[in-house]
Amino acid sequence: MNHTKRTVLVTGANGQLGLSLQQQVAQLPDFPFRLVFLTSQNLNITQKQQVEQVFLLHKPFAVINCAAYTQVDKAESEPHLATLVNEQGAMLLATYCRQYEATLVQISSDFVFNGNANTPYTEEIPVSPIGIYAQTKANAETLTLQHSPSAVIVRTSWVYAPFGNNFVKTMLRLGAERPQLNVVFDQTGSPTYAPDLADALLQILLHRENLPKQVVFNYANTGIASWFDLATETIALAKLNCKVLPILTHQYPTAAKRPAYSVLDTHKIRTQLGLTIPYWRHSLQKCIRSLLV
């Protein structure tokens, strides 16, 4: 009965979140939507003609925009490209979502905040991005809400998965190669397992009719960690013979400044969708198990 299902387009299908969505929805044969996964080869979201053709073909009920420029440091030297993908891409999708009366689910980032807080950020706190990447993600939120009357912004943080490039996989690789690693301990956030985030996005689709036309949600795994905590736990779970040492941010200089504190308050999405969000250590265990099989 697949032909009766409403279509949801997923951009950036080869990324961590896109692949996680494919994995999670494959386990739900009765899921009432048909998800169409589009890689950058199938759909370049910065190309108006391509976006127009895809919408005309599929007439979607919703679009989950997982396509993004995510190279935080490189964005400092490639501002045009970061702006093109993150801002122009989001605006084009939002414009066509309005035309087709479709919902745009726009994935955003903890980087929209400057990191000067010491309590978790709620959705209502004004954004204050630092750096090019952060600015493009904040602008993408604004453009999405301006151009699409039916839009869901989902801010997340520190995403990792069994596939793609991410901090956890880097720690596993380096931990197997080196006797010692230096990892920043004065930046704190909430590591987020992409399959958990994917599950939340599927719940948003299921509850769409009961949500406000425009809504902003925070989603991250529960609990707080530093990069040092995450590295230490990763190395321990994988039983690697590697020592992890804590260092300060200034001892590991990067092109883009990172928020020192970027913990997201998830009360709103938990209550509105009735979600139970897993603790970050439990999800990390799942990820490591799947990688070590």
Positions annotated as catalytic residues are 133
- Chain centre distance of CA 108: 6
Positive or negative, the CA dihedral 242, 246, 248, 249 is positive
CA–CA separation, 97 and 46 (whole Å): 15
Range list of H helices, 27-160: 48-58, 79-83, 89-99, 132-147
Instruction: Encode 32-41: b = buried (16+ Cβ within 10 Å), e = exposed.
Output: ebbbbbbeee
Residue type, 291: L
Instruction: Encode 177-191: b = buried (16+ Cβ within 10 Å), e = exposed.
Output: eeeebebbbebbbbb
Helix, strand, coil shares, percent, the chain, to 5 = 45, 20, 35
Contact 159, 166 (CB under 8 A): yes
